[in-house]
Every structure is written in structure tokens, then in C-alpha cells.
Amino acid sequence: MPTSDGDNTQQAIQQRIKPTLDKVAVEGIRAWLKAIGLPAPALSRAAIDEHIAKLIVKKRLAEDALEAALIGFEESSDMRIYLFRMDKREAKNASKSIAGRVAQFGIPIVNKRKFAGERTHPMSPVYAHIEGDLFRAKWAEEQESVKVNPQGTGVDKKPILKRAVLIADYSTGTAELRLNPPENVHSYQDGSGRPNAATYYGAYLQKAHDVLGCEATLLELRPVIKSLVEEDTPPLVRIHIDDHTNQKNYKTKTTGPKADIRDDPDWQLGYKKNGHTWAWDAQSFYWLPKVSSGFLTREVFTHIDAEESFVKVNADCSNDEVEYVVSQIRSR
Amino acid sequence: MSSPKFDRVKQLHPDLAELLDRLGRYIRVQASDGQQYIVPKLAAAALRLKDGEAFILLEMLAESGLLRRIFNVYCRKNNALLATVDSLDALDEIAHCDFCNCDHDSSELKVEVAFRLSDDGLKDIAA
């Protein structure tokens, strides 16, 4: 976000915040405003910019706080998240040498988190922020979305900025890697030279391990799904899609309407009889705000893929929302 | 499941003897139900273990010669089983996917490690 040039008229502020605000969905901004106790009326894109500029002029919102929140959106929206557990003793040792590793990988250490900005090269380091045992680092790169145009006469190319964020708490032995799914043109290639999503994820997972500096194992997510299914009074989530495999190795995918799949009598029948032996492969669901102890002001979508050990959240999620999702998953 | 080979695994890992017995019973039930493969995630779900724990126990039985490690290859899009192969080298030879009506490249495939009873293992089950 451009820095304040001292002109604090509503028009100047609006002009200053607009480019960054435009990258966040209106619904995401409204949820964040609600979460911090500010009015969040249903407004158009243009009107929400004006609404926020007014809040800043009236000093109900600080520009710094807005910037921090928007960096949070950048580091939380449309992310595949890998959750790790580290051995606490090893983590403690690794934390002592983190500054050295960060320097070795050419990541600038900063006092304040930053926007990714323009980064064209693959895995361009943006910043590392170290505060005691807490560590956060960000990388960014430009990839390209290439699609055949609707007429089929050519291709539409669009550059898209991708971010990856590594967050670790060495005192609790926890870490997470958040990264945007890749576009179809990027520099992570398979053996035959084609861009490959698995190679892209693998490269960042390797980088995360190298920077963390100790053994980090992926959190097993099947027990998390099992626990979320069992917690139904009151339910913490509304489950829309359930993927599981039964003991005969039949895979079942149940997709619900607006209601929870657990309300379907056929699903209930199978679950009651054999649910205790199902292998929970994946689920897509919404976290419900009414049982979130005030942490959520709207339903937040999450997909858990236990087969490939990752969690996915949608675009327009704030950092607080993703922290809630991660803490709920880790506590199960 | 009880056989000299199985007993040898238990002797080598006395701390795991109880778990191995539970796994042995599970394998027997699965085999008598006509299941061709023992899938670690299913064994884990049935025995209330972690996937990794079930895999290690199954791997120990494979090392003893009771089981054989195989790979089930699925179409990633439709989650349909396309082939069961003994080695990852065979991934290049996966047949046409009828469900998608195309020949997938390896990034469109999903591989699941599973275990098949070896001939010796089958004799033990029958005994």
C-alpha cells in the first residue's frame, strides 16, 4: 500500500488505499470490519473503498491497522495449508540458528510484515520476521494463467502473483506452510519439462523444511475429520461434501444441499453401522460462527484433504479467520 | 494369523506383539471376506491406529515375506482404480482410462501403497 504522503483528506486516503483494497473481496473486508467491531454495511466495491476512507478520516480505523489486515488477507486468501509438528527439543535448537538460515537463503529480516509487491522470479523472498520463538517468512512469484479464448482463435494470458508463507512457533513445535495453488504456466516442471503442480508444492515444502531447520512431520488429518463428524451437539461445522472409504475399499462421496450431510438418513444409516471403521479421505465444510466464541462473523469454508495432508481455504479469508481454522484443526 | 514367520516378527518386536496380533486378525478377516489388498489407511481406521503406524506394521510383515507391497493406481479425477502394479516403474504402462476416455500422464494419477498376501501368507491364512 502506498505510504501516507501527509494528505489526509478522504479523497487522498481513498486513492491511496484503493489499489490494495481492490485485491480483497468485499465480503472478506466486511467480515473483517465486523470482527473488529466496525460497521460493515452491504456495499458495492466502490462504496466500500469510500466507507473505509471515511472510517480513517473519522479516526475509527488507523491506516496502519488497515495495512496489517490487508497483508493478512494477502497471506491467508486462497491458500493450500500444510500443518507440521516439530519435536519441541529439536525445534528449540533450530530456533537458535534461524537468523543464520534466513540469511543463507537471502531472505531480508524486517521489523514489520510487508506486502509481496511485484515479484517476477520463482520463489522470490519477501521478508522474514522473527520475534522470540515466533517466525514468519514470505515468498512470492509471478505465474501465468493461459487459457484458450472463448472464440478458440487464440490464448488469453494473464500474469498472477502467487504467495507462500511459512509460519512457525518454535516454542510449541508447530509450523504451517500456506501457499496459493499454481497457475498452468510456471517454472516447476516434471521430468518431461511440463509445469507440474506437485513439483511446485514439493519445491516449497522442501524450502520450508530447509528454513525450519529441524524435522517437521505433517499433521495427520483423518482423526480431525473423524472428530468434526462426531462433534454434533452443537455442530462446529456444516459438512457439505464427505469422501470416505469403507473396509471393502469402496469409496463414497456424499454431496449435500444447503444442509449438513449428517442430516441425510441414508448417510446416517451407513455411519451408524460402519462409520467407526471408515477411513476419512476428505471433507468440505463451513465453520459456523455461532459456536466460534465470537472468532468468526461469517461462515468460513474449509476443505480438508486427508489423503494428501493439506487444508484449503478460499479467497478473501482474513489472517484471523485462517488462524481460527488452524487452531481448531490442531486442537483435535 | 499364526505361522513361524509371523511368530518371528513378534519375537523380533516383542513390544509390538499385541498390535501385530490385532493386525493379524484383521488381515485374516479381510482375506476371508475376499479382499485382495490390505490398505494401510483402512487397517488404521479399523484398528484405531495412525496411518503411519499401520503402514510400518504392514511393512514389517512384508519384510518377513508374509505380505508383498503393491501399488494401486487411481485416476485422480474419478478416483477409479486403473491398475495394480508391483513397481512404480510400471506407472508409464498404465492402460487407457475408460472413465475419462484418455491416456493419463503420471500427474493425473494417484498412487496408493497397499499389501497383498504372498503365497506363503496365503498358506498361513488357509491353515
Condensed to tens digits (0 to 9), the pLDDT of residues A31-44 reads 889 888 899 888 88
Asked which of A43, A74, A105 is the last residue of a domain, the reply is: A74
Residue of B46, B51, B79 with shortest CB distance to A277 = B46
Tell me how far the alpha carbon of residue A263 is from its chain's centroid: 29
CA atoms of A330 and B15, how far apart (whole Å): 29
Cross-chain Cβ contact A279/B33 below 8 Å = no
Q: Which of A93-97, A114-118, A134-138, A264-268 is least confident?
A: A114-118
Which residues contact residue A286 at a Cβ distance below 8 angstroms, ignoring those fewer than 6 apart? A237, A238, A240, A299, A300, A301, A302
Q: Give the pLDDT confidence score for residue A2 in this predicted structure.
A: 60
A143 and A228 share one domain: no
A54 plus A16 within the same structural domain: yes
* Whether pLDDT at B125 is above 60: no
Q: Sorting pLDDT into bands at 50, 70 and 90, what band is A7?
A: confident
- For residue B126, pLDDT over 50 is answered with no
Lowest mean pLDDT among A194-198, A207-211, B1-5, B9-13: B1-5
Distance CA(A269)–CA(A4), nearest Å, equals 61
The reply to whether A64 and A111 lie within a common domain is: no
Compute, in degrees rounded to 10, the torsion defined by CA atoms A302, A304, A310, A312.
-20
Q: Whole-number mean pLDDT of chain A? A: 93
Q: Looking at residues B71-76, what average pLDDT do you find?
A: 92
Q: For residues A220 and A223, give the distance between their C-alpha atoms in angstroms, rounded to a whole number.
A: 7
Smallest Cα–Cα separation from B121: which of B45, B9, B40, B15?
Answer: B9
- Cβ contact A249–B39 (<8 Å): yes
Question: For residue B75, what are the domain limits?
Answer: 4-126
What is the domain range of residue A26? 10-74
Assess if residue A150 is contained within a domain: yes
CB < 8 Å to A307, chain B:
110
ipTM of the complex: 0.89
Our count of domains for chain B comes to 1
Burial (CB count <10 Å: 0-12, 13-18, 19+), residue B15: exposed
Is B107 in Cβ contact with A220 (below 8 Å)? Answer: no
| Angle CA A241–A247–A250, to nearest 5 | 55
Q: What whole-number distance in Å separates Cα of residue A224 and Cα of residue A287?
A: 14
Nearest by CB: B107 against A196, A247, A253? A196
Tens of pLDDT, residue by residue over B80-96, are 999 999 988 887 778 78
Q: Are residues A201 and A280 in the same domain?
A: no
Question: Are both A66 and A122 inside the same structural domain?
Answer: no
Which residues are CB-contacts of A249 (< 8 A; sequence separation ≥ 6)? B35, B37, B39, B42
What average pLDDT does range A288-300 have in this prediction? 94
Query: Do residues A65 and A97 share a domain?
Result: no
pLDDT, mean over chain B: 89
- When divided into structural domains, chain A yields a total of 3
Domain presence at residue A302:
yes
B108 touches chain A (CB under 8 A): no
- For residue A1, being part of any structural domain is answered with no
> Does residue A226 share a domain with residue A172?
no
CATH code assigned at B120? 1.10.10
Residue A261, pLDDT > 70, answer: yes
Confidence of residue A140 (pLDDT cuts 50, 70, 90): very high
CB-count burial class (<10 Å; 0-12, 13-18, 19+) for A106: exposed
Per-residue pLDDT band for A139 (boundaries 50, 70, 90) equals: very high
- The count of other CB atoms within 10 Å of the CB of residue B51 is 22
Mean pLDDT of A286-290: 96
Residue A245 maps to a domain: yes
Cβ–Cβ under 8 Å, residues A125 and A139: yes
- How confident is the model at residue A3, as a pLDDT? 57
Q: Which residue has the cell 478416483?
A: B79
Query: Cis bond leading into A19, ω under 30°?
Result: no
Rounded CA-CA distance B109/A59 in Å is 55
Do residues B111 and B71 lie in contact, with contact meaning Cβ atoms separated by under 8 Å? yes
Chain A residues within 8 A (CB-CB) of chain B? Answer: 190, 192, 194, 196-198, 220, 222-223, 245, 247-249, 251, 253, 277-281, 307
- In the numeric block, which cell numbers belong to residue B25? 486378525
What local confidence, expressed as pLDDT, does residue A19 receive?
85
Closest by alpha carbon to A212, among A122, A136, A322?
A136
The CA distance from A118 to the nearest CA of chain B, in Å, is 30
Q: Report the pLDDT averaged over residues B34-40.
A: 93
Q: Are residues A163 and A149 in the same domain?
A: yes
| Contact between B41 and A196 using a beta-carbon 8 Å cutoff | no
DSSP conformational letter for A41 = -
Q: Which residue of B77, B79, B109 to mutate against A (max A Cβ within 10 Å)?
A: B79
Q: How far apart are CA B75 and CA B56, in angstroms?
A: 26
- Residues A305 and A241 placed together within one structural domain of the fold: yes
**Among A218, A238, A253, where does a domain finish?**
A218
The verdict on A125 and A245 lying in the same domain is no
- DSSP assignment letter at A258: S
Average pLDDT over residues B55-63: 96
Q: How confident is the model at residue A182 (pLDDT cuts 50, 70, 90)?
A: very high
DSSP reduced 3-state for A249: coil
pLDDT at residue B105, as a whole number: 82
Is the pLDDT confidence value at A105 over 90?
A: yes
Angstrom distance (rounded) from CA A119 to CA A229: 41
A188 assigned to some structural domain: yes
CB–CB of B51 and A220 under 8 A?
A: yes
Closest to B39 in 3D by CA, of B116, B101, B124: B116
Residues A105 and A190 in one domain: yes
| pLDDT surpasses 90 at A233 | no
CB-based contact, B35 to chain A, within 8 Å: yes
Q: What is the pLDDT of residue B123?
A: 59
- Predicted confidence at residue A256, as pLDDT, reads 87
Query: Looking at the domain assignment, is residue A105 inside a domain?
Result: yes
Q: What percent of chain A has pLDDT over 90?
A: 80
How do residues A45-57 score in pLDDT, each as one tens digit?
A: 888 989 999 999 9
Residue A20 has pLDDT above 70, yes or no: yes
Q: Please tell me which of the candidates A190, A192, A251 has its beta carbon nearest to residue B79.
A: A251
Contact yes or no for B107 and A197 at CB 8 A? yes
Residues A120 and A161 in one domain: yes
Look at chain A and count its residues.
332
What pLDDT is attached to residue A202? Answer: 97
Q: What pTM value is reported for the model?
A: 0.91
Query: What span, in angstroms and rounded, lies between the C-alpha atoms of B9 and B27?
Result: 15
Q: Say which of B41, B52, B107 has its CB closest to residue A279.
A: B41
Tell which B residues from 62 to 101 touch A, by Cβ distance under 8 Å.
Answer: 79
Residue A3 belongs to some domain of the structure: no
User: How long a stretch of residues is chain B?
Assistant: 127
Closest CA relative to residue A13, chosen from A1, A25, A23, A24: A1
Contact B107 A247 (CB under 8 A): no
H or E stretch at A143: strand A134-148
Q: How far apart (Å, rounded) are the C-alpha atoms in residues B17 and B21?
A: 6
Is A279 within 8 Å of B79 when comparing Cβ atoms? Answer: no
Boundary of a domain, candidates A218, A250, A280 = A218
Residues of chain B positioned with their CB less than 8 A from the CB of A215:
none
pLDDT exceeds 70 at position B124: no
